[in-house]
Amino acid sequence: MRRHWFFSSTRAVLAGSLVLLSGLASAHPLTVFTPRPAGVAHDPGTSGALYLNNRHIVTFRTTLLGDSPADRVQLAGAALAQALQASTSTPATVTHSAAGDSVRFEVNGRTVFFLVAADAGTPRPEAALPPATRDVQLRLEKAVVEAAQLRDRLRITADLAICLGASLAAWLLVRTTLWLRGLAVKRLHAALRSPGTASRRSRLVMALSEHAHVICRLAANALAWGAVVLTVDAWITFVLMQFAWTRPWGEMYSSWLVEVLHHFVSAAIASVPGLAVAGLIFVIARMVSRANAAFMQRVQSGDIELAWLDAHAALPTRRLCDALLWLFAVAMAYPYLPGADTEAFKALSVMTGLMLSLGASSAVGQAFAGLSLMYSHSLRVGQRVRIGDTEGTVVMLGMFTTKVQTALGEDVFLPNKMIVGMPVRHLQVSDGVREPDQSP
């Protein structure tokens, strides 16, 4: 069954490659390609772009002798086609010469187009004309050579065979990579389960007993699929670069990938100083938070007595200080985070704040109610209270809920927002009889 699937998939890949590449090979070699769908209004900035077999030659930006840039493109395309048709037996030569304020480009002695200083598209076109002439010369020479390659059927056949071999090699490499991934995962799982490894590295195995297999599988998958992506990328670039018709696409693909990697690495390196500053801000905030916690714990335990802060209000004061401290730290570190000045980051921050404000309105109300109970001294841990139908001892006074333990040993969690709107009665025990003490 696996052998049948192997040969079927191989035949499908080879057949698809043959159809695609034969279609590319049978394309007319002298057609000037302009990447604009018929009937769609073209952009004036790119209407003067001249292409030969997908290869960009030059962009005309000004009117010359009454011909618009679009007209110059049509005239140059027709002249290129005639010049290349006349040089089917001998290799075409590209030359250029000065013609007054313009540069004449010739293919086998035939004039194909003129380049003027205004076509450079720079603030000082006179100074940019010589380098623009050299660039156009190189692109035109490359396009002429590719046009000759499109007429060489023997070369096309050889390139087709090379691409088929490269496709088969890439497919085998992908299959081998995935097979090695499965083998490596099995070996790692077996090594983790072996008693010898457990006896030699008992502490490490005990620490990773629940997650070691998942970590190994994820690492193997990441490495394997990374290798697969690189293999497919190299295969696509190689196949596109083999044929003259698709070679410009291969060059664009390679340059695009290099630019993306360069931008990623540059951005990562440039973000290191900002991340260091943001990390330093958070480290300082952490140190201040720990100092505040130690101070408030001493106030809460009674080691330090303050006239403006009693022991029962120390815990909510600590929480408020920590919240303000971390909000201030985030505000200070925000400009140093990577991408903080981009519109996407700002939009994400606004959306996150809106979601939190809509979804956490009830939680914020509960928190303010809890702070109100703490600072008003309406409830204290250890007091016996009656809140509505619930009677018991306050065990925990939290930010969002209050825990009351009844005489039957039941734990009742009451929302702080509900407690604020209800009468709270403090009970005292006198000769076994509970009497209400106060009702704030």
Query: Cα–Cα distances in Å, from 201 out to 187, 192, 196, 279, 351?
Result: 17, 10, 9, 34, 48
Residue 440: pLDDT band with limits 50, 70, 90: very low
Boundaries of every domain in the chain: 49-150, 153-245, 270-359, 379-438
**237 within 8 A of 255, measured Cβ to Cβ:** no
The whole-angstrom separation of Cα 105 and Cα 95 is 6
The whole-angstrom separation of Cα 36 and Cα 237 is 24
What is the DSSP annotation of 389-400? TEEEEEEEE-SS
pLDDT of 10 > 80? The answer is no
pTM over 0.75: no
197 phi, psi to nearest 5 deg? -65, -40
What pairing do the DSSP bridges indicate for beta strands 49-52 and 55-59? Answer: antiparallel
**333 within 8 A of 343, measured Cβ to Cβ:** no
The whole-angstrom separation of Cα 71 and Cα 63 is 9
Query: Cα–Cα distances in Å, from 353 out to 325, 333, 338, 347, 348?
Result: 18, 17, 19, 10, 9
The whole-angstrom separation of Cα 408 and Cα 13 is 76
Q: Provide the sign of the torsion angle of the four alpha carbons 122, 125, 130, 135, taken in this order.
A: positive
**Check whether domain 379-438 has CATH 1.20.1250.20, yes or no:** no
pLDDT of 331 reads 87
**399 within 8 A of 370, measured Cβ to Cβ:** yes
pLDDT of 435 reads 45
pLDDT of 199 > 80? The answer is no
Residue 287: pLDDT band with limits 50, 70, 90: very high
Residue 35: pLDDT band with limits 50, 70, 90: very low
**Single-letter code of the amino acid located at 58:** V
Identify which of 185-194, 296-305, 375-384 has the greatest average pLDDT: 296-305
Work out the percent of the chain whose per-residue pLDDT is above 90: 5
**176 within 8 A of 88, measured Cβ to Cβ:** no
Neighbours of 194 (CB within 10 A): 12
Nearest to 153 by CA among 282, 46, 55, 24: 24
pLDDT of 192 reads 66
The whole-angstrom separation of Cα 219 and Cα 208 is 15
Task: Tell how far CA 293 is from the center of its chain.
Answer: 38
The whole-angstrom separation of Cα 244 and Cα 143 is 8
**pLDDT tens digits, residue range 338-383?**
877 777 777 877 887 777 676 666 666 666 677 777 677 677 778 8
Work out the percent of the chain whose per-residue pLDDT is above 70: 76
Task: Tell how far CA 52 is from the center of its chain.
Answer: 36
